[in-house]
Amino acid sequence: MSALVDDVVTALWVALGGGVGAAARYALDRAVSARWRGRFPLGTFLVNVSGSLALGLFTGLLVDGSLPLSLLGVGALGGYTTFSTASYDTVRLARERHFGTALVYGLGTMFVTVAAAALGLWLAGLWPAGGWSTVG
């Protein structure tokens, strides 16, 4: 019973994190779109790269399955980063016959986000053992 209650509470924290993350993505994308006039979807790109870097860091620093990781990683960064918009913009660029931009954006987002997540994991490994990793 208490495990079930814990799961419900965790799920609510994850949903709250997801709402805050999605709001942050929208606000950042709007701020970038107001200044960036290029064809490349820079706002979503920056969201996905920064979120992947942060998820690598948090995964390396926080205990697996702990509430802070659920709230920040699964919830907030899951809601912040988005695959559906990245995929939609890639297809939209291709339909508008901007094949070069579509290819650079589609492959570029994947390559740079994976590199960012790896960098985050690596940076977290530099942290002294027994530091933040005990947060649970």
Contact positions vs other proteins (CB under 8 A): 11, 14-23, 25-27, 30, 48, 51-52, 54-56, 59, 73-75, 77-88, 90-91, 94-95, 106-107, 109-110, 113-118, 121
Distance of alpha carbon 82 from the chain centroid: 7
Least separation, in Å, of the C-beta of 80 and other proteins? 7
Least separation, in Å, of the C-beta of 17 and other proteins? 7
* Residue nearer to other proteins on the CB measure, 12 or 135: 12
| Helix, strand, coil fractions of the chain, as percent rounded to 5 | 80, 0, 20
Angle between helices 42-61 and 99-126 (to 10 degrees): 20
